[in-house]
Structure 1
Amino acid sequence: MRRIAFINEKGGTGKTTLAVNTAAWLARERGLKVLLVDLDTQGHAGKSLGVDVRTLPRNVFHLLTEDSVRLEDVVQPSAVEGLSVLPSYKEMADFPVVVSQDARRAHRLAERLAPAEAAGYQALVFDAPPSMGLTTRNILVAATEVVVPVALTYLALDGCAEMVETVRQVGEAEGRPDLRVTKVVPTLYRKTALADAILERLKAYFPEALASTPLGFNVKIDEAQSHGKTIWEYAPSSRGAELLAAIAQEIHDAASPKKGKAPRVA
């Protein structure tokens, strides 16, 4: 079972957009049973699928902190056949405090999602919060591969370098030596000299992992999210749908993580 984590320590990189629509693409185009796991306090992944996360009696926080709560108690269906979501909301802000005394606190997510494969799920897609704390560490322990959305802005390379190093360190510390970044997806692309220069540098540093399709600005993507729909439900013939499908295809086709030294950005 693939476990794909979308992670960036910076907010506003298109992480949730990629996670939600990649999960939907895997369900729609590859016929997989997919569980989208939201771990951000804003609950945007669930909201992007039309789930009213504010009114749910239980969410991922309760699954992670209460042994009596089962996976099936929390999972919500979506309008996309084969795609379900494990929603999140503001309670996740308290997660590090609640589990602070647990020696295996970094393994909570992996352990609580253990029944997912027996339940028939073929892929887990994680939407991480925009910070590197205990929640994101849990995601890295639970994941088998990491996708890093990188906004084509001035500090993009520096943030990407830190993310790659963090993945390496967590992999070593938690006994996951094969965990690594398998895709770097350029986002917020505009046809400017700065964006193209950053894109060229990313190509030099990640010749194999860099997605060949940058995600540019597209109003239909924003509109789809505002209606609680994926791009294919809202505007399947749009340029946004074309871009997201191409990126999802690249993520799907990414080779299994290769052993060896992870790439570093100087």
Structure 2
Amino acid sequence: MEPSSGHAFSMQGTAETASVAPRMETEQAVDSRETAVPPPTPAGDTPIARAAAVARQVMAQRGDNEWPRPARTRVITVANQKGGVGKTTTSVNLAAALAMHGAQVLVVDLDPQGNASTALGIDHHADVPSMYHVLIEDRPLSEIIMASPELPNLYCAPATLHLAGAEIELVSKVARETRLRRALDDYDKSRFDYVLIDCPPSLGLLTLNALVGGDELLIPIQCEYYALEGLSQLLGTVDLVTSHLNPTLNVSTILLTMYDARTRLAAQVAEEVRSHFGDTALKTVIPRSVRVSEAPSYGQSVMTYDPGSTGALAYSEAASEIAHRWAEVAS
């Protein structure tokens, strides 16, 4: 009996030892997992940094770093009396894209909402000298232009809420339609390659000043059902301006914005616009992009906020088209 009893004890001890061993190994493994520290993320290895690297690589492959610069300043008015078509977004992002490739760019904000000023990181509270003082009080442009913190060669002539009253105050002014033109002529704008004028969504005196002050007109058109509604009115105003006030103004560029490739309607609108305007419409279309909408809330254009996003790449491509088209015409 004793040998049998000892054998049983021995087997029990062996079983307990065998059962304890896996538990110890498991606990050690758990401890090692809990105390293990993941390797640090390398500096600059973030989603936005990776997207920016992709954008730079794509641009380099396209040869985008060799954009031609105009022999003289191009003054481009961005206008469409229909609201929500992307005038300000287009002005800001084209300006940033051109500036990123070496051009000196000035954005003139003529919209009382001051959204272009916000997107460029420019302070435009009520006490800031603005386009209101230029148009109403004849203050020189040189006193209000500020450098954007976003890019080293990007500048802005800001708008403040005071500009909302300028429509009424301009009525009694002498040569009210040409006040912006005279301000630009009195300023040495040759320091800039491009001057982009952002307009309010109307055909009032502010937009009229922009049409008289510009040499080219860029019209953003939203890829939706009412895209061409009211466009004939804008083009009629352009005809009057060229006949009586600014014979050099020409509709140089049509840009399709807010393009949604998932809908047949967007393709139909794009086809209709191209059939009406031909080569005036850029080949590049601007897609709907959350990043484009987010960027102004950070005081940036999408070109610096997320340069690898589809919106940034599209605006870069559109800016490249604008720069290269001028070079082809000039040559």
The one-character-per-residue Cα deviations of 1:110-160 (angstroms, maximum 9, x if unpaired) are 111224335722321100000001111100111000000001121212333
For residues 201 and 77 of structure 1, the distance between their equivalents in structure 2, rounded to whole angstroms, comes to 40
SS, match of residue 253 in structure 1: helix
- Aligned with residue 228 of structure 2, among 157, 164, 185: 157
Q: What's the counterpart of residue 179 of structure 1?
A: 249
**1:1-266 alignment to 2 at 5 Å?**
1-29=73-101, 31-67=102-138, 69-79=139-149, 80-117=151-188, 120-174=191-245, 176-191=246-261, 192-255=263-326
TM-score of the superposed pair, with normalisation by structure 1: 0.90
SS, match of residue 229 in structure 1: coil
Q: Are residues 255 and 33 of structure 1, via their aligned partners in 2, closer, same or farther at CA, if it must alter by over 3 Å?
A: closer
SS, match of residue 188 in structure 1: strand
Q: What's the counterpart of residue 264 of structure 1?
A: none
One-letter identity of the residue aligned with 1:21: N
SS, match of residue 202 in structure 2: coil
| Conservation of the 8 A alpha-carbon contact between 2:126 and 2:160 | no
Q: How many residues align structurally? A: 254
**Shift of the alpha carbon at 1:255?**
4.1
One-letter identity of the residue aligned with 2:173: D
For residues 140 and 174 of structure 2, the distance between their equivalents in structure 1, rounded to whole angstroms, comes to 21
| Conservation of the 8 A alpha-carbon contact between 1:106 and 1:137 | yes
For residues 222 and 56 of structure 1, the distance between their equivalents in structure 2, rounded to whole angstroms, comes to 28
One-letter identity of the residue aligned with 2:74: R
Tell me which protein shows more helix as a share of its residues: 2
For residues 146 and 165 of structure 1, the distance between their equivalents in structure 2, rounded to whole angstroms, comes to 13
| Conservation of the 8 A alpha-carbon contact between 1:59 and 1:88 | yes
Greater CA drift, 52-61 or 110-119: 110-119
| Conservation of the 8 A alpha-carbon contact between 2:116 and 2:198 | yes
| Conservation of the 8 A alpha-carbon contact between 1:168 and 1:179 | no
Q: After TM superposition, what 4+ stretches of structure 1 lie above 3 angstroms from structure 2?
A: none
For residues 155 and 81 of structure 1, the distance between their equivalents in structure 2, rounded to whole angstroms, comes to 38
| Conservation of the 8 A alpha-carbon contact between 1:148 and 1:160 | no
For residues 235 and 189 of structure 2, the distance between their equivalents in structure 1, rounded to whole angstroms, comes to 31
For residues 162 and 255 of structure 1, the distance between their equivalents in structure 2, rounded to whole angstroms, comes to 27
One-letter identity of the residue aligned with 1:64: L
For residues 9 and 218 of structure 1, the distance between their equivalents in structure 2, rounded to whole angstroms, comes to 23
Unaligned 5+ runs, structure 1: 259-266
Unaligned 5+ runs, structure 2: 1-72
Greater CA drift, 193-202 or 157-166: 157-166
For residues 177 and 255 of structure 1, the distance between their equivalents in structure 2, rounded to whole angstroms, comes to 19
One-letter identity of the residue aligned with 1:221: V
| Conservation of the 8 A alpha-carbon contact between 1:164 and 1:180 | no
For residues 232 and 142 of structure 1, the distance between their equivalents in structure 2, rounded to whole angstroms, comes to 27
For residues 101 and 115 of structure 1, the distance between their equivalents in structure 2, rounded to whole angstroms, comes to 22
Greater CA drift, 161-170 or 185-194: 161-170
| Conservation of the 8 A alpha-carbon contact between 1:150 and 1:160 | no
Q: Percent identity?
A: 33
| Conservation of the 8 A alpha-carbon contact between 2:218 and 2:252 | yes
Q: Are residues 249 and 91 of structure 1, via their aligned partners in 2, closer, same or farther at CA, if it must alter by over 3 Å?
A: same
**Shift of the alpha carbon at 1:252?**
2.1
